[in-house]
Amino acid sequence: MIIGIVAISRNYAIGRGGKLPWHYSADLKFFKETTMGGAVVMGSRTWESIGRPLPGRLNVVLSRSGRVETPPQVMRLHAKEEVVELAKYLNRDVFIIGGAATYAEFADVIDKWIVTEIPETIDDADTFMPRDFLDGFTETEKKELGDGLRVKIFQR
């Protein structure tokens, strides 16, 4: 299954200056627990902001140019179609983890969204999710993480 996982603020912000504009350990712990054992697919800018492979997961960096430096244990692919094809053969969930351009590119093949709602408005954010990214999805589950964080799960 191809799953989008994102944390968004009240004004749909997801980033500022190439980083998350907040720090909630409950959100980071939830992200780690949810994606552990799966494959995480990210764009090159997200890869650069993380700066290292996420342990316990197959790390895939999407780069059209192929000029991104990755260590040998990180898979580098050039196109969405390669990720979709790979997902058919993996015996694990494939999580699209960002950034905004990568979410947009995979929007038509994401089967499920896991959305953490951040209880803040980020006025100086520079990266946002489109307001309609959940159109065509139905909320199936929600849970509280503490610190005002709420996770909602949506299925296509």
Q: What is the pLDDT of residues 15-53, one digit of tens each?
A: 999 899 999 999 999 999 999 999 999 999 999 999 899
Q: What is the pLDDT of residue 16?
A: 95
pTM: 0.95
For position 142, what pLDDT does the model report?
Answer: 97
Structural contact between residues 45 and 99, judged by C-beta atoms closer than 8 angstroms: yes
Tens of pLDDT along 109-130? 999 999 999 999 999 999 999 9
Q: Under DSSP, is residue 109 helix (H, G, I), strand (E, B) or coil?
A: coil
Label residue 153 by pLDDT band (50, 70, 90).
Answer: very high
Q: Is pLDDT at 66 greater than 80 in this prediction?
A: no
Radius of gyration of the chain (CA): 15
Q: Find tokens 């307001």 and name the residue.
A: 131
Domains of the chain plus CATH, in order, are: 2-155 (3.40.430.10)
